Every structure is written in C-alpha cells, then in structure tokens.
Structure 1
Amino acid sequence: MSFKNKFLELLPVFVQDIIISFYGYILIKQRYGDEYYQYRNSLLEQESKSSADLLVEQNILLDDFVRFSYENSKFYQSLYKKVDFDQAITLESLAELPIVTKEMLRTNLDDVYTIDCDQGISSFTGGTTGKSLQVVFTKEDFQKRMAYLDAYKIRLGIDPFESKKATFSGREFTRGWATSFTNKFWRNNWAYKQRLYSTFDMVEGNLPFYVQDLNRYKPEVINGFVSAIFQLAKFIEQKQLTLDFQVKAIFTTSETLLPFHRELIERVFKCPVYNQYASAEGAPFITECSAGSLHYNTDTGVIEVIETNAGTEMLVTSFTTHGTPLIRYKIGDLIKFKTGECRCGSLHPLVDSIDGRQVEFLISKQYGHVSLSHLADVIKGLPNCVINVQFQQHKVDLIEVLLNVDQTLYDQEAEDKIAKALMHRFGKDTEFIFKLVGHIPKESSGKFSLIKNFIK
C-alpha cells in the first residue's frame, strides 16, 4: 500500500473526501483540457460516415501513426529497418509488419517510449495475464481517449460531468479506523460528482451499508467492475431490497461482461448495461450502441485477427498511443466479428463477442472473496522483472504464488512488495508461499490463468 493511502487512513472520512476531491480537481485539469473539448465537440458534430469514408480515414490515420512511431521510437526504428516507407502504410500492407508480443514490449519498454515518463501520463496494465506494464500516454492522446468515451456517453444521453456517478473499483482508502468506526466503505470526489465505492470491503456483512448509501446518494450512473456490480445486484435481489432511485445507465469495465451478469444487473437496476472495451495499454475502442450492438471504432485504431489454439485473437494498433506506440500488438484477448449493419445507423464494424476470462476469485478468511481484478492490482507498478505470476489456492489459509521472473533483474525487494500487497488483500490469517519457476503452463484453451482456485 502506498504512503498516500496509509496517510489517508489516519484521517477522518470528511477530511479524506476533501483531499480526494482536490486530487480529483487536479485530474480534471489534466484530462479535460483544450484538446479534450476540441476533439469531443468534433466527434459530436460529425455526421454518420459511409463505410468508404471510414476506410479512407482509417488508412490515413494508420499511415501517419506508423510513420510517427518509426521516426520517434528506437524500438520501432530497429523493428522496421527493412520496411519501405516510400509507400504508404495501408490496412493491407500492415499485415506485413512484425507482430509485437507483450514480452517484446516488456523487455524493450524504454526504447518503445517516445517521451519521458514524467512528460506524459502513466498507466499500469492490470496484469490479468500475469504481466504488468507501465505505458505512457502523451497528454494529448489521454485527453482524446477521454473525449472519445465522453462523446460516446453523451450520444447515449449521459452527461459525463453533470450526472451523479457511483464507481465500483479497487480503491484502497477504506481500511483505516474511520471506516471501522463509521461503516462508510466509500469516499467522495466532489469535483467530479462521483462517489467511489471500495470493492475490497464488499463482504456479505457490509453489503447492507452499500445499499443504504446508494439509496441516500441516488446515483444517475453506475460504473465499475462487473463482479462488484453483479455481486451487489445479486444481494439486492436475494434480500428483496428496495432501491429508492433510478439509474440511467450502467457502464461495466475491467472484467468480461457475461450474459448472466447483464440479465441480473438490468433486472435489478431497471436500466441498460453498456459494455465497452479498451485496455490500460490504450487499445482501440469497442463500444456498445443504443441498439445493443458492439461496434469496433475504426477511427481509434486497427484490430486484426489471427487464429491461435485459444481462438480468434486480436492484434491491435491504436492511434492514441503516441507515447508508447502499439502496432500489431498481441494483446491476448479474443474477439468474434459479425457481418451486417446495425439499426443505430453506425457503419463501424460489428463485434459479436469479446472473450475474456470469466470472473474468478480466491478466498480470504478475513475479507471473503478476492476477485480477479483485485489480484491483478497486486502486480501493478511492479518492476518489469516479473514476467508471469499465478496465484494457486488449495487451502483457505494458504496461497501459493508461482513467479516466473527475469533472474538478472529479480531481487528480494520485489517479492516483499508482492507479499505486502497480498497481505493487505487477504489479511494476516493467510500464509503465502513463493515458488520461482521457469514456466507457468497455460490452460487447455490456450489462455493463461492468473488464478487457480482448487477449493471452490
């Protein structure tokens, strides 16, 4: 746990809210500048484009982006030294460029970057594939990504600034005395009209407090982890609780939205659930429209597919990753496209499904279920020496941590950091055994499991 979170836990809830809101104000200034408003307004003013226009636009953006990456990234200068740039890079010729794997990105990150980390905005991948990477966005790209998402929400009738928002994600500021004394498992970001609910504390005994506060707060929009929102909806339905507010929309993130998740969440909250796909690395956007279809937004990047043992896997090229360029990046997610046109009017290609990992969990004696997203956060920010990690549980009080590491960079400090993060999530009643291994096998499907729960 970081020093700032330890410091926050010592303060009364109201003071924590003030500090969090001040930080939220700083983030607003960082994320919503001139580039944001110009790009968002241009998106909202655009009329629907024909398939031909979308294709022309995508090819122009692709050529510009690949050339920029070659000219500014040492990694791509080396990788593309035999590429003929006298010809335009098109969707057809893109397939001739080398595929970039996560391991290639991890071991060459310093050469991939086109800017210094302190010049941009850093994002850490969640590590659901056992690896965590630090990617750096230019401030312009980061604002463009925020603008694209907000324009998408505005088209659905959601004002991203004026709507009261309830966010369920892995926030770490509710373990102090103030929470124990007040049973407030949430904090306020008043600058953004947002209440941040801790998913770490969503155990059976605490869920009534969540429902009571939601009824007081009356959010217009809910967003966050699929597993957390699903868990809350299931509790509300099982206990036959009443909600005294009407949500306009729910936006799920970070975890795969499965049909049974959607069915229950929409039934309980009586509003549409919208699925969306991007990634911490900055993949092109896939968004769900008002007609319930998933669209691959071709003005944000290129998604190619390759057949693997696991299925149809994505290769992503993202036009908003100038700080850490992604070109033909093997992101590890599966996708299925479908033909046809959508009644919403958009001619962006249709996506049938995005196949990610189903919701998994381990068990803590002290805190109950520890979800996949919580465990992914354990390896956020770790040095690049950790290649792969897997958490195995055969007993409630014992977690085996398999580590595949770069032996030239790995040290005891990295292991201690993981141990402290795990103890924070599982409590002191759980023992952790670390095993250094040369390889962590994949599942029969070809996917890699961060979690192996043998006691479910």
Structure 2
Amino acid sequence: MSNSKIKLSQGMTSKAFNILGKNSLTFKRTYDLLKKSQWWSADKLEEYQLEQLSKLINHAYENVPYYHRIFDERGLKPKDIQDFKNLEQLPLLTRDIIRENSRDLCARNYSPDQFQHVTTGGSSGTPLELYLESGVTDAKEWAFMKTQWERVGYRFRDKCSIFRGYNVPSSENKFWKSQLFGRWMIFSSYDINEKNIESYVKKIKEYKPKFIQAYPSAITLFAKHLKENDLNNFPPIKAILCGSENIFPVQRKFLEETFNTKVFSWYGLTEKVVLAGECEVSNHYHIFPEYGITEVADESGKNISKGLGNIVGTSFNNYAMPLIRYKMGDLGELSSKKCDCGREYPLLERVEGRSQDIIITRDNSRITLTALIFGQHFNAFSHIKELQLVQDKKGELTFKIVKSDKFNTGDEKEILEKIKGISHGQIDLDFLYVDSIPKTERGKHRFLIQKSSDL
C-alpha cells in the first residue's frame, strides 16, 4: 500500500461534500434505507443485522489476513458465526492489536487508492492510525448523520454555527470562517475568552444560525462567557447538536437554560464502529442497528445485559479495514426500555464515560467522573470558567481551576466536602488556580489527566 496514494480524511468539511458528489448513489441508498428502516420491527432489524454480519464475516475471512489467522487459530469457519452470541467466539479487538496488525487488517481485495487514512487521538490521547473505504464510508456516515439530525429538525440547508475545536487563523480579530456555501460558520474554539467574546456574539447575531454544532466543552465555555459578560439578545437557536465528547448532566442543564433550547447529543467515533443519538422525545442514546452490532461486554469479552461494561462495536460500513468486536475504551450500559418515539432501536441507558475517566481512590476503589463530579450538584461550578482534574497517585487529586471573579473560599470548601463524602474520605484534594487550560490537538477539553502508569 503506497502512502502517496492514501487520502487523508478531513472529517465533515467541504471535502466531505466533494466525496459525496463522487459517491452520491451510496449516500442516497443509505439515506433511503434509513428513512424506512428506523420504523422497522425489532425482528426485521435483527434479520437485517444478521444478513450484514454474514457478509462481513465472509469478507473478513476471505480477504483480511488478520481475521483469517484468528479464525484458523480458533478452528472456526465463517459458517460458525450465525448469530450475535456466536460473535463471542472471536476475541476483542483493541487499539494495541490494530497498531501491531495494521497491514494485516487491511483487505487484500482493495486497491491502494481505495484506502482513506485517518487518525484519532481517542479517549486515551494515544494516536491511532487506521483506514476507511475511501469516500464510501464517509458517504454512508453522512446519511446516518443526516437521518439522526433530522429528528430535531436540522436540514443540511440550515445555517449552523460550529464550535468543534477548529483553530481558525485569525486576522483583524476574525475567529471564524464560512464553509459549505455559507451553510456553516466555523468558529475557533481556541480563542473563546473575555477579550473576544463580544466579537463572537456580534458575528453570530449577524449570521443568524438556526443550530449550533459543538463539542460540549467548547460551547459550555462559550456559554459561560456569555453569562459572565451579560450579553443579551442572543439569536434564537432551534437546538444544540453536541458530539465527540461526553456531555454531562450539569453541562446539558446549563446549556439548555442559557440558550433556552434543547441539547441533542450523539455518540460516535472516528473508527466508525458505533453510532447512537438521542431522539426528539428522549435523552437515551438510540443505537443504529443498521450501522453495525453494538455489544456491552466484560473484560473477557462476554456480553452482559445489566450494569456498566465495555462498549464493543462491529461496523458494517468499512470493508477496507473491517473492525470486528472493537473495544474502543468507552463504558456504557444497555437499557431494557423502549422509547416512546416508536423506533425499535436498542438504547444505551448511559454512557458513563471513557474507561480512562476513572478516579482511583486510596483503597483502590474506582469512581467515574460522572459519579464523582457531574452526577452531583456543585454551586461552586457556576463560579468556575474551566476545570480539569489531575491524578498523579492513587487517592490524590488536583483540581486545576480557571476561576471567575465570584469564586471564593466557600466554593473551595463545598468541593472538598462533597469529594470527601462521595469517596468516603479516600481522596485527598488539592487546588491549582491557572489562567487557562490547554486543549488537545483536536481542540477537545480533557477533564481528567492521569500521569502515572500505576493508575
């Protein structure tokens, strides 16, 4: 595979629209399917999944050296994978396995120019390189995203302000750029501060978007500056479309109150193995069964029906480098409920966060960020601009805080008492006050930094 012939993914930008032009039939077929299939019965959805699984397994065995080897080592043939339970005979695929076997995971019946090179930092912050089916995977992805966003009224023709980590080169204090023929106005997430907030608001008022698409951390920071600077008469927004990071209850509540609108969140990955999103009536993540097979499994790879486990995905949309039973490093819990929207999609009761978003206490207990921080109500958080937790040792935690002028010793006391209570005194807390907290290379905000390999 020649690197000179590999196309670099640009995400959902104007290049993605060019890709759609070349693969418009793939997009249309997928979109037309989803308009119908979202209302199929559970039995019909399962039948569709099993058909797609059979095609994928046969392709992987015949054309992908890694899977051929795995099947042979386990004495398996494609016919042995007949249902979802049979999938447990195959091992979990991890990021380390992908790194060690990247060439052998690429399908041999694809030519070099059919591979699209992408990278992801993922929840661990360690880069991962992989390949999608050039153009085709993106075209299908767009069809799913269009279907998903339409639940809350978004159409591609609608004006949308974007806060997703883009670093827009500024000139004359312009921290934005127009894209997709004016349908998107992309704002820099790296320059949101008190000095620039008025220029941001002025531009948004001039642009008059119907929707905002954002990383939760970026739009929360923007909203905090809005409130602190008492900037009124913000244009009405139909919905805020959040993705690529966990959205915590305290963020959702704050955003909905600040913008007086609904926050609609989705869960997806660069690896394109799982896609799920909220619907028009529920905050549960609806898993797209047409996208692939989603499992919640324990560390051994066995499926669990209750409780928190590893989210494991098998994608139907990337035959160039099939990812089967990919353990992405995220934690979730399936729901036994059915949504009132009428779709028979499986639901995620919760996405608790990345498996790395776990605090280790002095007695080796594990507490998720949601349980420790975002599942509680802190009055102090209304006086904090940005927050990051740093853990170097078990049972020790540093709160790195960018505080507002209203932050006081009472806020510090409240945080100390609540962390002590939820951890049963097994966490010692320290405070570090800073002027700013650096973003990742992709412009995301990491709530937890753990520096020790012992954690």
Which stretch shows the higher mean deviation, 54-63 or 187-196? 187-196
User: 2:39 — aligned with what?
Assistant: 48
Equivalent-residue separation in structure 1 for 2:449 and 2:256 (angstroms): 32
User: 1:193 — aligned with what?
Assistant: 183
Using a 3 Å threshold, how does the CA distance of structure 1 residues 367 and 210 change in structure 2: closer, same or farther?
Answer: farther
- Pick aligned residue for 2:211 from 202, 221, 228: 221
5 Å matches for 1:411-422? none
Is 1:150 the counterpart of 2:146? The answer is: yes
Using a 3 Å threshold, how does the CA distance of structure 1 residues 328 and 137 change in structure 2: closer, same or farther?
Answer: same
Between the two proteins, the alignment pairs up a number of residues equal to: 359
5 Å matches for 1:16-55? 25-32=14-21, 33-46=24-37, 48-55=39-46
Equivalent-residue separation in structure 1 for 2:311 and 2:339 (angstroms): 22
Deviation at 1:172, TM superposition (A): 3.0
User: 2:322 — aligned with what?
Assistant: 325
With normalisation by structure 1, the TM-score equals 0.72
Is contact 1:128-1:372 (8 Å) kept? no
Equivalent-residue separation in structure 2 for 1:52 and 1:154 (angstroms): 25
Using a 3 Å threshold, how does the CA distance of structure 1 residues 373 and 343 change in structure 2: closer, same or farther?
Answer: farther
User: 1:343 — aligned with what?
Assistant: 340
User: 1:260 — aligned with what?
Assistant: 250
Deviation at 1:391, TM superposition (A): 6.7
Equivalent-residue separation in structure 2 for 1:288 and 1:65 (angstroms): 27
Equivalent-residue separation in structure 1 for 2:335 and 2:251 (angstroms): 22
Is 1:104 the counterpart of 2:100? The answer is: no
Is contact 2:163-2:189 (8 Å) kept? yes
User: 1:127 — aligned with what?
Assistant: 122
Deviation at 1:223, TM superposition (A): 0.8
Deviation at 1:74, TM superposition (A): 1.4
Using a 3 Å threshold, how does the CA distance of structure 1 residues 83 and 308 change in structure 2: closer, same or farther?
Answer: closer
Equivalent-residue separation in structure 2 for 1:291 and 1:253 (angstroms): 18
Equivalent-residue separation in structure 2 for 1:296 and 1:97 (angstroms): 22
Is contact 1:188-1:195 (8 Å) kept? yes
The residue identity in structure 2 corresponding to 1:306 is A
What is the RMSD of the two structures over their aligned residues, measured on CA atoms? Answer: 2.9
5 Å matches for 1:51-450? 51-81=42-72, 82-114=75-107, 115=110, 118-138=113-133, 139-160=135-156, 162-174=157-169, 179-180=170-171, 182-191=172-181, 193-292=183-282, 293-308=284-299, 311-356=308-353, 357=357, 360=388, 368-372=436-440, 374=442, 441=453, 443=455
Equivalent-residue separation in structure 2 for 1:243 and 1:121 (angstroms): 44
Is contact 1:126-1:376 (8 Å) kept? no
Using a 3 Å threshold, how does the CA distance of structure 1 residues 316 and 42 change in structure 2: closer, same or farther?
Answer: closer
Is contact 1:128-1:373 (8 Å) kept? no
Deviation at 1:117, TM superposition (A): 5.8
Identity, in percent, stands at: 25
Using a 3 Å threshold, how does the CA distance of structure 1 residues 442 and 276 change in structure 2: closer, same or farther?
Answer: farther
**Higher RCO (C-alpha under 8 Å, 6+ residues apart):** 1
What do the CA deviations read for 1:307-334 (whole angstroms, capped 9, x no partner)?
3599511121111121221111111000
Q: Secondary structure at the match of 2:349?
A: strand
Which stretch shows the higher mean deviation, 81-90 or 210-219? 81-90
Which stretch shows the higher mean deviation, 338-347 or 120-129? 120-129
What do the CA deviations read for 1:54-80 (whole angstroms, capped 9, x no partner)?
211111111111221222211111122
Deviation at 1:113, TM superposition (A): 1.6
Equivalent-residue separation in structure 2 for 1:170 and 1:248 (angstroms): 22
Equivalent-residue separation in structure 2 for 1:122 and 1:216 (angstroms): 37
The residue identity in structure 1 corresponding to 2:123 is T
What do the CA deviations read for 1:197-247 (whole angstroms, capped 9, x no partner)?
111112332222212211111111111211010111122223322134211
Deviation at 1:47, TM superposition (A): 6.2
Equivalent-residue separation in structure 2 for 1:158 and 1:35 (angstroms): 21
Q: Secondary structure at the match of 1:371?
A: coil
Is contact 1:220-1:249 (8 Å) kept? yes
Equivalent-residue separation in structure 1 for 2:320 and 2:233 (angstroms): 44
Deviation at 1:375, TM superposition (A): 6.7
Deviation at 1:366, TM superposition (A): 11
User: 1:387 — aligned with what?
Assistant: none
Equivalent-residue separation in structure 1 for 2:121 and 2:214 (angstroms): 14
Which stretch shows the higher mean deviation, 164-173 or 25-34? 25-34
Gaps of 5+ in 1: 1-19, 379-389, 393-401, 403-439, 444-456
User: 2:425 — aligned with what?
Assistant: none
The residue identity in structure 1 corresponding to 2:341 is C
The residue identity in structure 2 corresponding to 1:80 is F
Deviation at 1:135, TM superposition (A): 2.1
Deviation at 1:46, TM superposition (A): 4.1
Equivalent-residue separation in structure 2 for 1:124 and 1:363 (angstroms): 30
